[in-house]
Structure 1
């Protein structure tokens, strides 16, 4: 028999609610289509109003379905800023007091909106997720206020939400958006073919770029990172020089926005000099199959795909654009170069494959095209 005090705490059973299907292919396609617009000020064209009160809004030539504040009309132009892509695309509506709304793909033709409600996500917990979670919390709070009808006009955001909204608004005012972390010193001191030195230099360049400063501070507080490592990052250097950049300063806001985008999209962009006088652009993106996320650490690592893009201009080879995909320890490589350089790369493919095999990374696919040829591969 159960103890009396345990029985007395049992409450009534409430009906189960269907789980939100975040892995819906149409939702994933919408997220991929909107991802390049993250942090940008956009204009939404209201195309239609559905029977459940939601609207079909065209943003960057992409139709979406979202809730709008009271008074929205078909044909109106709505100023929007995309502030998040995951777990759902989230827009800041207007330029005044921040109001946020999540977006989904339009309903299939003939679907009943009443049977497919546009779900609004409740406030997220900021613990352990940092700035990105705080952004989602602010966005969700604003989205929830949309459902309150006229009362939403008197809804106020938390200090965190207001701070994030102010940063995003300041970032949108910058004439030239910052899309990559900038390297202040060359990756290696001189031209080199030493892959280990270049890899170590890139690791230090990205690690000291300031993109991950807050997480590094947390590691330092736990004794897992030396203070000397923090002193090499721009935020710490500014603090030591007595500078206190304001979050609403366009340059500071741009960098914070870049931090949020890096965290949100698992997409890192860096540009600087590989060695003195040799500019380089690097992009790294992690892709994880959502169906594999619940598996063990080893199984998830095997399912993880890393996409990288490396762009350089060499004196002899000219422009070289290399795209690499690493899946399960195997490398897929696609290179775009001038016609002469492309022929040279094809000729040396066996040497490359042999070197990769010796390093334990087999070459699973290799494609070289001349600049100007259509690229049929995945971007």
Structure 2
């Protein structure tokens, strides 16, 4: 019987290529917690993109992929300054704090009586020469939107004449994703996930050349690696012992041994 059926021939009508016998499947759940959070994130990203499109075109191109970009107009220190770590850290903290990128956060701290009003007055938004529609404030607005979207902060400045510092700090997880994760953890009665940060630093000094550092900080645990010109590798490796001691005692961080290698050619 099988071989008799196999010998029979029949024709099968093929469906036209432009039609499909399957209807699109509609989502059955549109109000789950995940979809609500996803819609909020998508809406926030849409708002950010909408604001960016409203910015002047030259500003958009200069701010693209830059995050919060801080670039002072003058060197931070005179050429004769004897620089130490605490002085440099304090000065960098000041220019970030007074850059205007965190204006809303400062307002919230002032409202909670944690900082004096004079600190708010020093922000670019409140200086007499800046109006709400001035190019400077528009630039800061664009940087704030990029910072909200990417979480990236860039500092590009001269420490003193001929000493150039470039510093990038960014979170391991996008801020919008991290906010959603933290919200889900709070709903489950858990603590927010501790943030982790990655940082890259390039310092160019006269008579020394270029020094680069890559760092990652997570829950007070710091990993770091350094690169410099080959003649400096030995001396910089020796100095890492003092650096690790100061970080452990002064900043209270756990730190692994710091490898030092020569810069790629």
TM-score by length of 2: 0.67
- Verify the 8 A CA contact 1:282 1:311 in the aligned structure 2: yes
Give structure 1 stretches of 5+ with no counterpart: 1-14, 23-86, 88-119, 126-132, 140-160, 374-379
Q: Provide the C-alpha distance between the structure 2 equivalents of 1:318 and 1:365, rounded to a whole number of angstroms.
A: 23
Give the structure with the larger strand fraction. Answer: 1
1:283 aligned residue = 168
Alignment of 1:61-210 (within 5 A): 121=39, 133=44, 136-137=46-47, 161=50, 164-167=52-55, 169=57, 171-172=59-60, 179=66, 180-184=69-73, 186-188=75-77, 191-210=81-100
Larger radius of gyration, structure 1 or 2?
2
Give the structure with the larger helix fraction. Answer: 2
2:219 aligned residue = 328
Partner SS for 2:154: strand
Shift of 1:273: 2.7
**How many pairs align?**
224
- Verify the 8 A CA contact 2:204 2:211 in the aligned structure 1: yes
Residue 233 (str. 1) matches residue 123 (str. 2): yes
2:25 aligned residue = none
Deviations 1:281-327 (A, max 9, x none): 12111235959732415xx33xx212122211112321111111112
Shift of 1:361: 2.2
Structure with higher RCO (Cα < 8 A, 6+ apart): 2
Q: 1:170 to 1:221 in 2, by over 3 A?
A: farther
1:256 aligned residue = 141
Q: Provide the C-alpha distance between the structure 2 equivalents of 1:173 and 1:351, rounded to a whole number of angstroms.
A: 43
Q: 1:138 to 1:283 in 2, by over 3 A?
A: closer
Partner SS for 1:246: coil
- Verify the 8 A CA contact 2:52 2:142 in the aligned structure 1: no
Shift of 1:358: 3.1
1:106 aligned residue = none
118, 127, 133: which one aligns with 1:246: 133
Q: 1:188 to 1:178 in 2, by over 3 A?
A: farther
- Verify the 8 A CA contact 2:196 2:216 in the aligned structure 1: yes
- Verify the 8 A CA contact 1:284 1:308 in the aligned structure 2: yes
Q: Provide the C-alpha distance between the structure 2 equivalents of 1:188 and 1:338, rounded to a whole number of angstroms.
A: 25
Instruction: Indicate the RMSD between aligned Cα atoms, in angstroms.
Output: 3.7
Q: Provide the C-alpha distance between the structure 1 equivalents of 2:152 and 2:46, rounded to a whole number of angstroms.
A: 18
Deviations 1:131-188 (A, max 9, x none): xx4x63475xxxxxxxxxxxxxxxxxxxxx5x653116452365x8693211245445
Q: 1:20 to 1:345 in 2, by over 3 A?
A: farther
